Amino acid sequence: MFRIVLALFLGFAGLPALAETLVVYSGRSKVLVEPLVRRFEAETGVRVRVRYGTDAQLLLLLEAEGKRSPADVFWANSPGALVQAEARGLLRPLSFELRSRPARFVPASGGWVPLSLRLRVLAWREGAVDPRALPDRVLELPEVPGFEGRIGWTPRYSSFVDFVTALRHLEGEDAARAWLVGMRAKRPKAYASNTPMLLDLAQGELDLALTNHYYVYRLRYGGEEGEYEEEGEHEEAREELRVAGGIGVHHFAPKDAGNLALVTGGGVLATSQRARLAERFLGFMLSGAAQRFFAETVHEYPVVRGVPLPPRLEPLDRVLALSPDLDYRVLLDLDATLELLREVGIH
Q: Which pLDDT belongs to residue 168? A: 98
Residue range 226-247, pLDDT digits in tens:
343 333 444 555 554 444 448 9
Question: Are 241 and 202 within 8 A, CB to CB?
Answer: yes
Residue type, 206: L
Domains of the chain: 13-117+262-315 (3.40.190.10), 118-260+332-343 (3.40.190.10)
How large a percentage of the chain has pLDDT more than 70? 88
Q: Which pLDDT belongs to residue 51? A: 97
Residues counted in the chain: 347
**DSSP-assigned beta bridge partners for residue 210:** 122
Q: Which pLDDT belongs to residue 7? A: 40
**DSSP-assigned beta bridge partners for residue 249:** 123
Q: Which pLDDT belongs to residue 6? A: 38
**pLDDT averaged over the chain?**
89
Question: Are 152 and 188 within 8 A, CB to CB?
Answer: yes
Dist. CA 92–CA 101, nearest whole Å: 18
pLDDT over threshold 90, residue 225: no
Residue 316 to residues 105, 162, 250, 302, 312, Cα–Cα distance (Å): 14, 21, 16, 9, 12
**Mean local confidence (pLDDT), 337-345:** 95
* Angle, CA of 47, 52 and 56, to the nearest 5°: 135
Helix (H, G, I), strand (E, B) or coil at 46: coil
Q: Which pLDDT belongs to residue 235? A: 53
Longest CA span, the chain:
89
Residue range 64-119, pLDDT digits in tens:
999 999 999 999 999 999 999 999 999 999 999 999 999 999 999 999 999 999 99
Residue 50 to residues 29, 37, 74, 331, Cα–Cα distance (Å): 11, 9, 10, 26
The lowest-confidence range among 18-27, 53-62, 148-157, 250-259 is 18-27
Q: Which pLDDT belongs to residue 239? A: 54
Helix (H, G, I), strand (E, B) or coil at 67: helix
The lowest-confidence range among 2-6, 43-47, 100-104 is 2-6
Please, which contacts does 171-179 make with residues 24 or more away whose CB atoms are closer than 8 Å?
171/139, 171/257, 173/340, 175/139, 176/340, 177/340, 177/343, 177/344, 178/139, 179/138, 179/139, 179/141, 179/142
Q: Which pLDDT belongs to residue 236? A: 55
**Mean local confidence (pLDDT), 323-331:** 96
Question: Are 156 and 162 within 8 A, CB to CB?
Answer: no
Question: Are 124 and 131 within 8 A, CB to CB?
Answer: yes
Q: Which pLDDT belongs to residue 13? A: 36
Q: Which pLDDT belongs to residue 331? A: 96
pLDDT over threshold 70, residue 145: yes
Residue range 10-39, pLDDT digits in tens:
333 333 344 689 999 999 999 999 999 999
Dist. CA 284–CA 278, nearest whole Å: 10
Dist. CA 148–CA 187, nearest whole Å: 6
pTM: 0.88
Rg (the chain; Cα; Å): 22
- Which of the four pLDDT bands, split at 50, 70 and 90, describes residue 191? very high
